[in-house]
Structure 1
Amino acid sequence: MHASPQVIALVLAAGRSRRFGSDKRAARLPDGQSLLAATLVLARRNFPEVAVVLRSDDEAEALGVPSGVRVIRCTDADLGMGHSLAAGVAVLAAERFRAMAVMLGDMPWIADASLRHLAESADVDRIVFPLHDGQRGHPVLFGRRYWQEMMTLTGDQGARRVLEDHEEAWFGLEVDDPGVLRDADTPAALV
């Protein structure tokens, strides 16, 4: 059951995992699944369409990308997350969705209920994000109104500029889900 037929998921997974020490996308979770594959399974379970941004030289199959997930290649991925995000939004802009859930490839611990709740609150004019214990988490859902601006992002700040420029559009949802804050910056975070 998908959270909303009106929201598409874009998973960002083109980084170099420098703090992790190796390619964390291929790192194995206790159940044997790769970190990226687990995140994509979560996204597919909750959104009608899922796309993942990878580097131009990545082998999607080796990273565990399931069939049915659209692969978007970012040739400028090494220049920062802004470039990856811009590349993904540019490809998906023609799709008929009211919002896009921007997910990080190292966050498979988000509860399905949280994703459904966020998607149900998405709208073309909103920027929706989860709050847990007062902290803003992921994913961030950007209404269609912001997609054109997101296509101009550069550098390593992701969508920070869009968020800062449109504070009036923020719609924070309190969730009882530490998974919205949990990512895997080190191998110890996988257990």
Structure 2
Amino acid sequence: MSVVALVLAAGQGTRFGTDKRRAGLADGRSLLVHSVERARTVFDDVRVVLREGEQAQDFGLPSECRVVYSPEAAQGIGHSLAAGVAALVDSSAQSVAILLADMPWIAPATLSQLAVAATASTIVFPLYEGRRGHPVLFGRDLWPALTQLKGDEGARSVLQAHRQCCVRVAVDDAGVLRDVDTPDVLRDHG
């Protein structure tokens, strides 16, 4: 199964106080670079959704990392997700892994486990101790619905409308639940 990774990094991150994509982790890499490099260990094709006018080199992203722009990113994650999936028209992948740039602690083994479960007609997500986490992988058959998203709801409406397509994968990885909303999270979990 071929899976393309789409790292959503166009949000405003207002609760963080500054641009959290540039916040440093314990290893010296920025939050965004760490998340992208983690995805690249598993997925051959990794694309990053940024705000219009931003450049990959501004964040120290690898040159082979393709950037997708979300002109309406300020209106919510739904717009960024729709722009990212719409830009996949040149991809032959049968599924897209939607990764959030502020979730750097997902283990590569977990990403691989989820990719193995993906098909063109499923929605795959991890369950850790009974709680749904990230990333979520959407089969190609569901991409048209994702391109219609708007606002700040993310893909919740697509998940609800296609419950019969959902595949839950039990994982032993708390990283699927851990995001960085405030600087304290980085200090505590670096």
Question: Please, what TM-score do these two structures have when normalized by structure 1?
Answer: 0.96
Q: Return the match for 1:112 from 103, 108, 131.
A: 108
| Cα deviation, residue 61, structure 1 | 1.3
Distance in 1, Cα, partners of 2:17 & 2:66:
27
How much is the aligned-residue C-alpha RMSD, in angstroms?
0.9
Q: Return the match for 1:184 from 169, 172, 180.
A: 180
Q: Return the match for 2:80 from 80, 84, 97.
A: 84
Distance in 2, Cα, partners of 1:58 & 1:68:
16
Question: Which residue number in structure 2 is paired with residue 127 of structure 1?
Answer: 123
Distance in 2, Cα, partners of 1:46 & 1:94:
20
Give secondary structure in 2 for the equivalent of 1:123. coil
Distance in 1, Cα, partners of 2:17 & 2:38:
25
Distance in 1, Cα, partners of 2:160 & 2:80:
19
- Cα deviation, 1:139-188, whole Å, max 9, x if unaligned, reads 00000010011111100011111001001111010100000111100011
Large movers: runs of 4+ above 6 Å: none
- Cα deviation, 1:3-52, whole Å, max 9, x if unaligned, reads x5x00000000001101111000000011100000000001111010000
On the 8 A contact 1:52/1:72 being kept in 2, the answer is yes
On the 8 A contact 1:93/1:147 being kept in 2, the answer is no
Give secondary structure in 2 for the equivalent of 1:37. helix
Structure 2 counterpart of 1:8, one-letter code:
V
Structure 1 residue 159 and structure 2 residue 155: aligned?
yes
When structure 1 is superposed on structure 2, of 174-183 and 50-59 the one drifting more is 50-59
Consecutive unaligned residues of structure 1, counting only runs of 5 or more, are: none
Identity of aligned residues (%): 52
Count of residue pairs brought into register by the alignment:
187
Give secondary structure in 1 for the equivalent of 2:14. coil
Which protein is richer in helix relative to its size? 2
- Cα deviation, 1:36-94, whole Å, max 9, x if unaligned, reads 00000001111010000000132321212111110001110001000000001001133
Structure 2 counterpart of 1:172, one-letter code:
R
Question: Which residue number in structure 2 is paired with residue 172 of structure 1?
Answer: 168
**1:6-155 equivalent positions in 2, closer than 5 A:** 6-155=2-151
| Cα deviation, residue 108, structure 1 | 1.3
On the 8 A contact 1:86/1:151 being kept in 2, the answer is yes
Give secondary structure in 1 for the equivalent of 2:6. strand
Consecutive unaligned residues of structure 2, counting only runs of 5 or more, are: none
